[in-house]
Amino acid sequence: MARNLEDLKYKTSFGKTVLTLIFGVLSVIYIFPIVIVFYNSFKTNDAINTDTFALPRTDTFVGLDNFVKGMTFGNYPFLKSVFYSIVITVLSVLLILLFCSMAAWYLARVDSKFCRFVYYLCVFSMVVPFQMVMFTLAKTADSFFIPLNTPWTIPVIYLGFGAGLAIFMFVGFVKSIPLEIEEAAMMDGCNTLRIYFQVVMPMLKPTLISVGVLQTMWIWNDYLLPYLVLDRTKYMTIPIHIQYLKGSYGSVDLGATMAMIMISIIPIIIFYITCQKYIIKGVAAGAVKG
């Protein structure tokens, strides 16, 4: 018996070591491109072209020149792009969190064929590639009775595309909340809105945070949807601004591009590292059998 326990402990320990090594290698593979972008953002353009993987040397190091050049390139201010990226991300995430959590609460509590159909429709939307609908979407955004091609209206489109994952996670968590809590609040005189905002929403906090983090990372880094929908003569997000860092004859200033990429990814990396524990809690809390 003791021998079997020792063998089991050895196998468990060996398995954990192997998994640690595998995930360690995968982490290095994922981090390596970010490291390359980081130190290339301090090199001259010629040095990046001729020796991409070399560290900056005395003759190739340019300090913060690439950052200054990227932020002052062209006629469109970079800080304006940062502002529009923040506006789009914040508004979109707030819409997704509010409306999808309310919809998920209703879908989880009302047992009807219609609710089940809507739920499965939302789940199915997660597997539909954006490329299938992007041209129709761009045309609709321009011709809609309220144009959706501005930073103030494009969050409506993000609400539609983000609803699938958000509702899927929210429904799973709501099903784990005892119905008796809501019934007790109703007996105390709470109406539907008070039950949601004062009872259900506080209990949804782990999933609200995890959904918010995932949606923020997606929307902040998204390039294709704003590029197709926004009026680029007036509005640019950070990814679009970086794409337009071109000189004469279509040449690309790689140093300035690398610097702007670092400016765009550092905030979202810090945000993710700060909130990653909530993602795990939210996914685990919502992983219930419906």
Residue 90 pLDDT level (bands cut at 50, 70, 90): very high
d(C-alpha 153, C-alpha 148), whole Å: 5
Most confident of the following: 3-7, 44-48, 236-240, 274-278: 236-240
Q: pLDDT value at position 246?
A: 67
Among 9-23, 114-128, 243-257, which stretch is predicted with the lowest mean pLDDT?
A: 243-257
Residue type, 2: A
Q: pLDDT value at position 203?
A: 87
Q: Would the pLDDT of 9 be above 70? A: no
Q: Would the pLDDT of 99 be above 50? A: yes
d(C-alpha 95, C-alpha 105), whole Å: 15
Q: Determine contact, residues 52/35, Cβ cutoff 8 Å.
A: no
Q: Would the pLDDT of 160 be above 50? A: yes
- Segment 240-268 shows an average pLDDT of 80
- Segment 252-264 shows an average pLDDT of 86
Classify residue 261 as exposed, middle or buried by CB count within 10 Å of its CB (0-12, 13-18, 19+): buried
Q: pLDDT value at position 289?
A: 43
Residue 72 pLDDT level (bands cut at 50, 70, 90): confident
Share of the chain above pLDDT 70, in %: 89
- Segment 225-232 shows an average pLDDT of 87
Q: Determine contact, residues 258/48, Cβ cutoff 8 Å.
A: yes
Model pTM above 0.95: no
Q: pLDDT value at position 1?
A: 53
Count of other CB atoms within 10 angstroms of residue 279: 19
Residue 166 makes CB contacts below 8 A (sequence gap 6+) with 96, 97, 100, 101, 104, 211, 215
Residue 89 makes CB contacts below 8 A (sequence gap 6+) with 216, 219, 220
Residue 290 pLDDT level (bands cut at 50, 70, 90): very low
Q: Would the pLDDT of 57 be above 60? A: yes
- Segment 100-128 shows an average pLDDT of 90
List, in order of start, the domains of the chain with CATH numbers.
2-65 (no CATH), 68-286 (1.10.3720.10)
Q: Would the pLDDT of 278 be above 50? A: yes
Please state, in angstroms and as integers, the Cα–Cα distance from residue 88 to each residue in 107, 157, 165, 271, following that order. 27, 11, 19, 17
**Average pLDDT value for the chain:** 84
Give the residue with greater pLDDT, 90 vs 205: 90
Q: Would the pLDDT of 5 be above 90? A: no
Among 37-46, 70-79, 119-128, 219-228, which stretch is predicted with the lowest mean pLDDT?
A: 70-79
Structure tokens at 49: 């072209």
